[in-house]
Amino acid sequence: MSGYAFHATFLQALRDLGTTDQDDNVILETSMHWAPLPALEKAGNLSVSWSFLLSPLVNEYLPKPLARVLGLHVDKPTNVWFGAAQRPALPETGELLPTAVRVISLPKNLVAAVLSNCRQQTARLTGLLNVVVARALASALHSRGHDFASFKASTAIDLRRALSSGQGKIANYVSATDEAVVIDTTQLSVPELSDSDWLGIRGITSRLSAASQTLADQPVGLLKYLSNYREWTLKNARAPADSSFEISNLGVFDSSGDEATIWTVDQMLFSQSANGTGPPLNFSVASAKSGDLTISSTWWRGMLGVSDEEDFVNEVCKRVDDGLRCLAGQ
């Protein structure tokens, strides 16, 4: 959302060019009194209940054998796809993670049809994408001899509404929520979504809406209990993934304004670098108002647990595209 805030400001600056001096020798001075918004933990009360805190606290600080004896440790499920069994080795100090990316784009006329179908089902696009991506992954894995019906989806949520602050401003007011997405693998050859699929999509939509409206028991609120951020980050960067994929949907960028303006934004593209501590695959979603929908898929090379990563992601992206086009009636 901070990217949208920047582009909105940049767009307004372009539209204001006619009111500024265009002399090449002009030096533009910026204000020295810029006051950034407060950090998330200072902007609101990220309250954490004991029931929400207990499990991550035990997993972080208590030895697993002792946690099992106390009945507090839950073993990682074996029937959920998490990509490679181990993360690739971290690069040398100062080097960036090797990132791979694929981008698909859904034409604006099909986007309108997809959104119309979502509204008819009392659902929203992000909830839909959770299920469409899980179906695409299940199909691509099945074609390689790996049968998985369960996926753990992590979805980024914007906390600006819960904070009643930061709308249209640059700020890191983000948390996330996890969803268990279970696919009926017997229906993967059928392109249409089933009633069961839509039931799951509506449930995800409802839970995402509820999570974005509260500051209580947010995963990001657990960070204040860490004693060493760097050590925790490196530990997670060396541990196997504990989720299947992430979806981050920025929504719609609205560049509408004075009809006389020559400056507009017709298409938006949003992408992220490889996720060093998160899931194997990340899907970044953005669109401009009345424009195409773009979905960028990024991953850390060696993280997917298949020998043909490029072809695998190409197939996943194609199946996502096919699923959306089918929903749009194409």
Per-residue pLDDT for the chain (330 aa), expressed as one digit of tens each? 788 888 888 888 888 876 666 666 667 677 777 788 999 999 999 999 988 888 777 776 666 666 565 666 566 677 899 999 999 999 887 788 999 999 999 999 999 999 999 999 999 999 999 999 999 999 999 999 999 999 999 999 999 999 998 888 888 999 999 999 999 989 898 889 999 999 999 999 999 999 999 999 999 999 998 889 999 999 999 999 999 999 999 999 888 876 667 888 889 999 999 999 999 999 999 999 989 999 999 999 999 999 999 999 999 999 999 999 999 987
Architecture of the 2-16+79-253+261-327 domain: 2-Layer Sandwich (3.30)
**What residues have CB less than 8 Å from 191, skipping those under 6 apart?**
322, 323, 326
DSSP character string of 19-55: GS---TT--PPPPS---PPPPHHHHS-----HHHHHH
Among left, alpha and beta (phi > 0; psi -120 to 50; other), residue 217 is left
How many residues in the chain?
A: 330
Helix H or strand E segment including 171: none
Extents of the domains making up the chain: 2-16+79-253+261-327
Please indicate, yes or no, whether the overall pTM of this predicted structure exceeds 0.85.
yes
| Residue keyed to tokens 């699929």 | 197
